[in-house]
Structure 1
Amino acid sequence: MEFRKYQEQALKSDQIPSNSGNGIIVPLLGLVGEAGTILTEYKKYLRDGDAHKLFKESVSEELGDLLWYVANVASKFDLDLGEIAEGNLKKCLDRWGWRDSEQIGVKTIGHIFDSDFPEHERLPRRFAVEITEESKDNSVRTKALVNGKQIGNNLTDNSYANDGYRFHDVFHLTYAGVLGWSPVTRQLLGCKRKSNPKVDEVEDGGRAKAIEEGISALIFSYAKDHNFLEGVSALDYQLLKTVKNMTSHLEIDQCSLGDWEKAILRGYAVWRQVEKNRGGMVVVDLDIRSIAYKPK
């Protein structure tokens, strides 16, 4: 049965219409109550095992009641249950689709944001960045080099604690390699899209770079509380949503939550090696959307 048809038929059996004082609160309470009933049935199953002969039948019935309340709430908020279901599937694909693609061996190309620009304004499709560390004047700092030439400034942790944030250029390189986007990397490599003044101002300008730096700092704070993501296979949904909201006005908005999760997890896998070895070579390949580490 189609969701829309079910929703219409279910509404005919509604005993508390919308124009009554309890028209909304009753189905909302019903959602909670039915969910609790399902838990009760499962508790009985855990306790009694196969002796609970009617377990599946009971759960099926309670799920039906739960679905009725879901449809009723949707109707009373003037929502279409079919559209809700489609939106939820899209949300799940946005969040988890990249894992399914990798499991079946499908290579995703991702978004290409600079294909219409001159070659010197495109992110290099494959390049390597050497990251080195040195101690000077009681300070530990890093620098990044491409073909032996330094890009950007020397970096420190900018922190009272030695936490390795000085290696955070790895994150910008990861966003470039995996997402095809990084205003900071464009600045470092001198490939801003100046032939289009508006794109240069909005997508490659100061605000976009500040947002990218903010994302790196935000995720780093989260990662510190989670062992720098070692052994972590999924990130907090709200963290990913925050990142998406921060970039909603930029071209990177085309990338999904799953794209961001993939980039963050891969970036930290490389960052942990760079931090452990106090430097090394980071190889970025936009054609296959990858970033890899090579020891010095």
Structure 2
Amino acid sequence: MEFSTYQRAARQTSQLRLGGPQGAIAPMLGLASETGSILNVYKKYLLDGIDLAANREFLREELGDLLWYVAAVATAFGLDLEEIATANLQRTRDRYPTEHPPRQRDELPVFDTGYPPHERFPRRLVVAFAEHTLPSGRAAATLTLVSAEPNIFLNSRNATASGKKIGFQVGAELGDPLTDNSRRVDAYRFHDAIHLGFLAVLNWSPTLRSLLRLKRKSNPETDECEDGARAIFAEEGLAVVLSRLAKRRTGFLSETSIEGEVIEVAKATAVDLEVEPLPAWLWRSAICQGFRAMHQLAENSGGYLIADLDARTLTYEKVFS
């Protein structure tokens, strides 16, 4: 039986008021009541050791009633149960794919494909993080680009005809030294690991594209809308918000600690950006890898991060050779 067919049949048996939000009150109370009945059986299983197998018929009946009330709530709000089920499966598969993610990685976009070589990210970068103490006594971290492959700028001048610098230079620092920018010592000085997580796994980071001077100037619209200040602010803001949320979720050191609501925050930040269509499972991987690397940098007062954009991995090494 299809869900839509069940919903229509259930409506014909309803003795409840139909239509409008007010009509949803009784079935929503029914949802709570039936859920309570199922929980009561499980409570008896935990406390009294009852046989769940012996209660299968009761559970089947209660779950059936639960489904009836779900259909009634959907009807009250003018929603189709078939569409709800289809959308829910799509959303769930987006978060937790049934296929092994590496198979899906081959189909993921590389956002700067087709652009001139001097506007494309290297496919592998090694970045050194060094911690030092400022005269103020605060800890700061500096980033140095150790290697980049391919390096289109190895034997060329890093300047346009107008004299404006473009591209990166191996051995040069990326940006200014960073402190925690807070009264608390919380390792945010290493937060560029979050951006490197985005770069490695999502192949996206307006912040690092700016630091590496790889903006896609050949396409004015892309330069403005994808590589401009608004996109950079969106990514930086997301890094701040995620850092706050991570404190209440074991630091996002495992993918299981990154709840669906966290992914929704990330995807909301990415609305209207090229990264918006990427699946939730990939965001989860990017966030986890970035925060795990940030944690390792803080534990060891620095180290090296290797961003592999083809493998979509970010790895930490205390010593790089």
Q: Which residue of 2 aligns with 1:97?
A: 97
Is residue 282 from structure 1 mapped to residue 305 from structure 2 by the alignment?
yes
Q: Which residue of 1 aligns with 2:295?
A: 272
Following superposition, the deviation at residue 19 of structure 1 comes to 5.7
Is residue 153 from structure 1 mapped to residue 143 from structure 2 by the alignment?
no
Distance 1:241 1:43 in 2: 33
Is residue 165 from structure 1 mapped to residue 163 from structure 2 by the alignment?
no
Distance 2:209 2:52 in 1: 63
Is residue 49 from structure 1 mapped to residue 65 from structure 2 by the alignment?
no
Amino acid aligned to 1:152? G
Does structure 1 conserve the Cα–Cα contact (< 8 Å) formed by 2:44 and 2:50?
A: no
Is residue 118 from structure 1 mapped to residue 141 from structure 2 by the alignment?
no
Distance 1:154 1:53, change over 3 A: closer
Distance 1:71 1:227, change over 3 A: closer
Distance 1:186 1:263 in 2: 17
Following superposition, the deviation at residue 292 of structure 1 comes to 0.9
* Per-residue deviation, residues 223-246 of structure 1 (Å, max 9, x unmatched): 233443346632132222122112
* Per-residue deviation, residues 139-192 of structure 1 (Å, max 9, x unmatched): 322211112111211111112222211111111111010011100010011111
Distance 1:16 1:227, change over 3 A: closer
Following superposition, the deviation at residue 128 of structure 1 comes to 1.0
Between 1:174-183 and 1:14-23, the stretch displaced more is 14-23
Distance 1:165 1:274 in 2: 11
Is residue 178 from structure 1 mapped to residue 175 from structure 2 by the alignment?
no
Count of matched residue pairs: 293
Distance 1:42 1:273 in 2: 42
Structure-to-structure mapping, 1:70-149, within 5 angstroms: 70-97=70-97, 101-102=100-101, 106=103, 108-109=105-106, 110-137=108-135, 138-146=137-145, 147-149=170-172
Does structure 1 conserve the Cα–Cα contact (< 8 Å) formed by 2:16 and 2:23?
A: yes
Amino acid aligned to 2:105? T
Distance 1:148 1:256 in 2: 35
Distance 1:55 1:280, change over 3 A: same
Following superposition, the deviation at residue 41 of structure 1 comes to 2.2
Distance 1:155 1:34, change over 3 A: same
Distance 1:261 1:116, change over 3 A: same
Does structure 1 conserve the Cα–Cα contact (< 8 Å) formed by 2:140 and 2:189?
A: yes
Between 1:72-81 and 1:185-194, the stretch displaced more is 72-81
Does structure 1 conserve the Cα–Cα contact (< 8 Å) formed by 2:71 and 2:81?
A: yes
Structure-to-structure mapping, 1:137-286, within 5 angstroms: 137=135, 138-146=137-145, 147-230=170-253, 233-286=256-309
Does structure 2 conserve the Cα–Cα contact (< 8 Å) formed by 1:133 and 1:141?
A: yes
**Which one has a larger percent helix, Structure 1 or Structure 2?**
1
Distance 2:89 2:205 in 1: 29
Following superposition, the deviation at residue 29 of structure 1 comes to 1.3
Match of 1:23, SS?
helix
Q: Which residue of 2 aligns with 1:37?
A: 37
Amino acid aligned to 1:240? I
Following superposition, the deviation at residue 87 of structure 1 comes to 0.7
Distance 1:162 1:21 in 2: 49
Amino acid aligned to 1:112? V
Following superposition, the deviation at residue 47 of structure 1 comes to 4.3
Distance 1:158 1:32, change over 3 A: same
Q: Gapped runs of 5+ residues in structure 1?
A: none
Distance 1:260 1:187 in 2: 21
Does structure 2 conserve the Cα–Cα contact (< 8 Å) formed by 1:157 and 1:164?
A: yes
Distance 1:267 1:184 in 2: 14
Does structure 1 conserve the Cα–Cα contact (< 8 Å) formed by 2:249 and 2:258?
A: no
* Per-residue deviation, residues 69-98 of structure 1 (Å, max 9, x unmatched): 111111222111111001111111122228
Q: Gapped runs of 5+ residues in structure 2?
A: 146-169
Distance 1:48 1:184, change over 3 A: same
Fraction of identical pairs, as percent: 40
Q: What do you get for the CA RMSD once the two structures are aligned?
A: 2.2
Distance 2:196 2:23 in 1: 54
